[in-house]
Amino acid sequence: MALSKLLDNDFQLVLVGLTKKQIEQLPDSILGVERTESVEELAEIYAASDVYVNPTYEDNFPTTNLESLACGTPVITYKTGGSPEAIDDLTGIVVEQGNINKLVEAINQIKEKGKQYYTEACVERAHRLYRKEDRYREYIELYDKVLRNG
């Protein structure tokens, strides 16, 4: 059964990053949003969302999970690749790959607690672990060390 059929009526399922043709093919119950290159627009979409669901089957470390956290939105993702590494129990939920029922349970769990339960922890985790300035500095320090000991 389709995910949109399993969710409560008060959910609006929104798919982001689609082509016009893909949007035309969606059922009326699903809202499609075209791909955008605007960082501001993406941040608005993440921030307006109650939860970001990333049911990826193959990914090494999806930055979309980090973007969602930085906007204060909890993440639900499959236990695949590096996707689970971005979140913890305070910032989202990891479910087994392909388990739609557990995916729906996770969505309902976040809905029950409310986005605000997760928001502060999401932003804090993104800031503490994924700030590009900190990661750049670490890379420079690593390269410096390798060159000195080379």
pLDDT in tens, 82-109: 999 999 999 999 999 999 999 999 999 9
Q: Is residue 103 part of a domain?
A: yes
> How many domains in the chain?
1
pLDDT in the model for residue 127: 95
Q: Is residue 11 part of a domain?
A: no
What is the rounded average pLDDT of the residues 48-64?
Answer: 92
Q: Is residue 136 part of a domain?
A: yes
Q: Is residue 61 part of a domain?
A: yes
Domain ranges, residue 123: 36-149
Got the DSSP string for 82-113? TGGGG--TTTEEEE-TT-HHHHHHHHHHHHHH
Scanning the chain, the segments in alpha helix (DSSP H) are 3-6, 20-24, 39-48, 63-70, 100-113, 115-130, 132-149
Q: Is residue 105 part of a domain?
A: yes
CA distances from 16 to 33, 39, 67, 130, 144 (A): 5, 13, 14, 23, 40
What is the rounded average pLDDT of the residues 106-116?
Answer: 94
Q: Is the pLDDT of residue 3 over 60?
A: no
Assign residue 107 the CATH number of its domain.
3.40.50.2000
pTM: 0.84
Q: Is residue 13 part of a domain?
A: no
Q: Is residue 73 part of a domain?
A: yes
Q: Is residue 140 part of a domain?
A: yes
Residue appearing with tokens 């008060």: 10
